[in-house]
Amino acid sequence: MEYKTQMEAARKGILTEQIKKVAEKEGMDPQKLLVLVAEGRVAIPANKNHPGLEPEGVGEGLRTKINVNLGISRDCRDFEFEIEKARKAIEMGAEAIMDLSSYGKTREFRRKLVGMSKAMIGTVPMYDVIGHLDKDLGQISVQELLDVVRVHAEDGVDFMTIHAGINRKTAERLKNNGRLTNIVSRGGSLIYAWMELTGNENPFYEYFDDLLEVCREYDVTISLGDACRPGSIHDATDACQIEELITLGELTKRAWAKDVQVMIEGPGHMAINEIQANMVLQKRLCHNAPFYVLGPLVTDIAPGYDHITSAIGGAIAAASGADFLCYVTPAEHLRLPDLEDMKEGIVAVKIAAHAADIAKGIKGAREQDYQMSLARKNLDWEGMFKLAIDEEKPRKYRKSSIPEIEDSCTMCGKMCAVRTMNKIMCGERPTFE
């Protein structure tokens, strides 16, 4: 039986190799996963032109996945450095990489990235439009915008962020209500500017069915971008954000009608007390489609530490229903991240994702924590290092301050509570001299 997309296959009762592999990774009954994919509650982004992909599922009942952003820009054009970052991200367990390249030989870079990556690859075609076409934004035609989407699909991209929800009605809402930080989405701002310059409707909204035909042809998952995501906690949960979300829900149903898989993108910057309600609202308005969030950053006053503000919000968001977390690095709002920034961002988002999986009761999530606690009880330092999210940093700390006795650390020494209890529980007399 023939099929074009993972969703179409699932609706026909076909267990694809991708569904089987994801079910095995997640410890889920393949038939249960098939139902979730058929209903759109799980997406398996898997472009038919990405042969080296190790498929992952995003959505209900699955482990929270993480994404790493990278790419070349006018100020940072080093292909090999960005490819090195991609290799490191994959080594550290990132399930997805988004190529946000916006300048130069973007197609050459994108093809190289798809060719070397077992992780799913995402892009934002709107970022590529100006560099790829080498034209002024206002001079770019609708057909040229759609053609760039097809190019990305042909190159093997597994999911694309398309800012289809910011139509002229939402744009008018933004003008009438005002915002402290306006539109902070790069793709969203470009679409808004294009509409203002040309006087036309958002082409990704007006010609959404044409986009769906491209996505269906290559089995590209459409990640509906939130152009009106809040760029400050002041703007969170405002009329613009909610109106766009309603539109994204309508577009989700249209995509599913064509067997195209969907993810919904979310905030952004948001106070802690608003996060859970936003997750519930998104799931309701967008029919339980997988939710992909940037952060949310829970305060605006920590430049240089936004991997922490993001991890706090990400953990709460994922525990409340978000399925996919985009990492944020210490360099957010300041510069393109280097390797060390990227590593700090990945560790922070992995902590958030794992903490959320424990809260959600994801199968097997607590097992690593149990093993870590066992290693700590046994004062098994090597075991602790191997179980850590980041093995390198704890080894470095341990090596930098050697204790007098091996079964302790330099904070407590012979007064280590674990050491004392181990000895007492075994009938030995602890010594503190």
Residue ranges of the annotated binding site for [4Fe-4S] cluster are: 409, 412, 416
Distance CA 337, CA 340 (A): 8
Distance CA 177, CA 315 (A): 31
Residue ranges of the annotated binding site are: 69, 98, 127, 163, 185-187, 226-229, 265, 269, 292, 333, 409, 412, 416
Looking at residue 92, what DSSP letter applies?
T
Question: Phi/psi zone of residue 46: left (φ > 0), alpha (ψ -120 to 50 degrees), beta?
Answer: beta
**Under 8 Å between Cβ of 180 and 235:** yes
Query: CA 184: distance to chain centroid?
Result: 18
Strand partners, 325: 66, 293
Residue ranges of the annotated binding site for Zn(2+) are: 269, 333
Both tokens of residue 69? 């952003």
Beta strand pairing call for 65-70 and 324-326: parallel
Residue ranges of the annotated binding site for substrate are: 69, 98, 127, 163, 185-187, 226-229, 265, 292
Sign of CA dihedral 421, 423, 429, 433: negative
Helix 186-198 and helix 168-177: axis angle, to 10°? 100
- The candidate with the shortest Cα–Cα distance to 7, out of 209, 205, 257, 223, is 257
Residues 6+ apart with CB under 8 A from 51: none
Total count of residues recorded for the chain: 433
**Under 8 Å between Cβ of 275 and 311:** no
Strand partners, 160: 123, 222
Residues 6+ apart with CB under 8 A from 99: 70, 71, 109, 110, 113, 121, 122, 123, 157
Beta strands in 48-147 (DSSP E): 58-59, 65-70, 96-99, 120-123
Distance CA 91, CA 427 (A): 45
